[in-house]
Amino acid sequence: MIYLDSHATTPVAPEVLAFMLPYFTDHYGNGNHKMGWKNKAAIESARFNVAQLLGCRPNEIVFTASATESINIAMLGAVEANTTNRRHIISQPTEHPAVLSCLEQIKSKGYQVSFVKVDALGRIDLIHLEELLGEHTFMVSIMMVNNEIGTVQPVKGIGNLCRKNGALFFSDLTQGVGWHLIDMEHYPIDFAAFSSHKIYGPRGVGALYVKNGPQNSNISPILFGGGQEAGLRPGTHNAPGIVGFGKACEIIEAGDSDTQQLAANRDLLYRLLKNELSIKLNGCPHNRHPANLNISIAGVRGEELQGSLQNIMFSTSSACSSHSPKPSHVLSAIGLTNEEKQSSIRFGISKFNTKEEIYEAARLIIGQVKRLSKPVQQMASTR
Ligand code: PLP
């Protein structure tokens, strides 16, 4: 098995798992007693590690169950707390379905939603954003890094435009944390969401960043219960998950982000495939997630290739939207033809992939594409 789908989820690092295990077996207490205090201290230590990686204060981090939950709490909670007459939200068409679905909810509350244009590489048009921003704009939601094509957005510039216009800025950082240097203290971002299982931590735990902490910001709870996480995410803490998340952040903060190795393996895979096949790179070739490779291969359907190569794990579109048979909304937004969309596949390299795995995956993919492909013209715009 060769796992090349790390945008969907990363394997849990062995050190992370080892760190988590005692919180299932020994330190499971959850109350006002010695075992409970130990548990609470571990959660606060994890919060410190997450905050260190994000360059923010620990009280600005709220633990949740996923990035999806963080996105819902931030976007719907900010709208719930809105006492102004601003009823306009700006986003982009290439956001993750969690954001797009929240926008649908928000629209049903009477808000107007506009989408800023993206170009053929998936980069937003800042001039268009400036034109859309106005005195009625309440919030802008633009992700830092796209999960399908890896394109990086200029979040600092976007945030500065929001500040100028008095709008809140929410950013989904899920694919940016772990390799992109993030300095929330100096970023003009009000709320942000991210997740442990994209950075070699466990699933079922995410975080919401709230500038100045939940007590000092305009965000109302959308979940109600025991008051944990400053009332924004009530419910008994997932202590093993949270300590694992903290450990994963600590490992990255200690310098183990392996960005160069990821990019080297990603570029090697691209070169090997490009030497033998007619492929087109989707997304921005320069400013892109170091692990991301999204390509369209002339003459084969991505799903057919995936189904016939069961020992290599990759995606035919975003893993999070793979429940839907519809073609990728991201690839549609950047103007791919139907044929290019159907023949697209996405790889996400992980820090555990070896060079040998990359050579082997390329060999198997090339062989299979040659067997499956129908005679086609060279793709018009191979890059
Ligand atoms: N946002 C982005 C950009 C993602 O890539 C994902 C998951 O793939 C999510 C949000 C949702 O994350 P989670 O699985 O933690 O809900």
Q: Which of 56, 102, 284, 320 is catalytic?
A: 320
- DSSP code of residue 258: -
Flag whether pLDDT at 218 surpasses 60. Answer: yes
Atom 2 of ligand 1 has which residue's CA nearest to it? 174
pTM of the model: 0.95
- State mean pLDDT over 263-285: 97
Is the CB of 153 within 6 Å of ligand 1?
A: no
pLDDT digits 0-9 by tens, 107-154: 999 999 999 999 999 999 999 999 999 999 999 999 999 999 999 999
Atom 12 of ligand 1 has which residue's CA nearest to it? 67
- Calculate the CA 159 to chain-centre distance: 18
Q: What is the reported pLDDT for 372?
A: 92
- DSSP code of residue 144: S
Is the CB of 146 within 6 Å of ligand 1?
A: no
Identify which of 103, 7, 77, 75 has the alpha carbon closest to the alpha carbon of residue 321. 7
Flag whether pLDDT at 318 surpasses 50. Answer: no
pLDDT digits 0-9 by tens, 182-210: 999 999 999 999 999 999 999 999 999 99
Atom 5 of ligand 1 has which residue's CA nearest to it? 147
Instruction: Find out whether 168 and 149 touch, Cβ atoms under 8 Å.
Output: no
> Ligand 1 centre from 321 Cα, in Å?
10
Is 320 labeled as catalytic in the residue annotation?
Answer: yes
More confident residue, 255 or 41: 41
pLDDT digits 0-9 by tens, 332-341: 999 999 999 9
> Ligand 1 centre from 195 Cα, in Å?
7
3-state secondary structure of 191: strand
Atom 6 of ligand 1 has which residue's CA nearest to it? 174
φ and ψ at residue 151, rounded to 5 degrees: -60, 135
